[in-house]
Structure 1
Amino acid sequence: MMMGYGFSGPFGWLGMGFGMIIQLAFTALIIMAAIWMFKAVFRGGHSVERPIDAVEILKQRYAKGEISSEEYQRMRKELEF
């Protein structure tokens, strides 16, 4: 005769299944946290981004066609001193 509840608690197979789900969820959470930390360390995480300098913005505006070639040349000369 068995005494007590055994491995899966008072709920039998249901308790064991619930325990497995909790364990899998906990394991998935640990794996996701490890991946997030890996990305944060090797990609710089959410650190301060490198500021874009004025010449780079000017190049982007020229590439989009927002300014003409003459405007681009004039503004670039002014920025480079």
Structure 2
Amino acid sequence: MMGYGGFGGHYGFDWLGAGFGMITHLAFTVLIVMAAIYFYKNIFRGGNCRHLRGQNDAALEILRERYAKGELPAEEFQKMKKELQ
């Protein structure tokens, strides 16, 4: 006799549990890698932070106003505009 469950001990369905375990492990690993990429892009490299983009737009607007009033020469305006973008 082979024991109480035939092949594999649990009625032959041990492979099913191992398959779900492998899929769960793979999904968790992918999730960790995606989180690491997200944090690297948005925290360490600056990313597309909306609050910084808003500050940059405000600075460009002030620069344009100063140029329009004649407070800045064209060369200095272009240099500062390039630095802000």
Q: TM-score, normalised by structure 1?
A: 0.51
Shift of 1:40: 1.6
Among all aligned residue pairs of Structure 1 and Structure 2, give the percentage whose two residues are the same amino acid. Answer: 46
Q: CA RMSD in A?
A: 3.6
The SS at the match of 1:44 is coil
Q: TM-score, normalised by structure 2?
A: 0.49
Which portions of structure 1, spanning 4 or more consecutive aligned residues, are displaced by more than 4 angstroms? 55-58
Structure 1: unaligned runs, 5 residues or longer: 59-74
Structure 2: unaligned runs, 5 residues or longer: 73-85
Query: Could you say if the C-alpha distance between residues 77 and 25 of structure 1 is closer, same or farther in structure 2, counting changes exceeding 3 Å?
Result: closer
Query: Could you say if the C-alpha distance between residues 30 and 2 of structure 1 is closer, same or farther in structure 2, counting changes exceeding 3 Å?
Result: farther
Query: Could you say if the C-alpha distance between residues 24 and 77 of structure 1 is closer, same or farther in structure 2, counting changes exceeding 3 Å?
Result: closer
Q: Distance in 2 between matches of 1:15 and 1:57?
A: 65
CA-to-aligned-CA distance 1:22-63 (integer Å, 9 cap, x gap): 0000000000011111112232142622423237668xxxxx
Q: State which of 31, 35, 38 in structure 1 corresponds to 2:37.
A: 35
Aligned to 2:16: 14
Query: Could you say if the C-alpha distance between residues 48 and 26 of structure 1 is closer, same or farther in structure 2, counting changes exceeding 3 Å?
Result: same
Q: State which of 36, 51, 56 in structure 1 corresponds to 2:56.
A: 51
Query: Could you say if the C-alpha distance between residues 39 and 25 of structure 1 is closer, same or farther in structure 2, counting changes exceeding 3 Å?
Result: same
Aligned to 1:80: 71
Shift of 1:78: 1.9
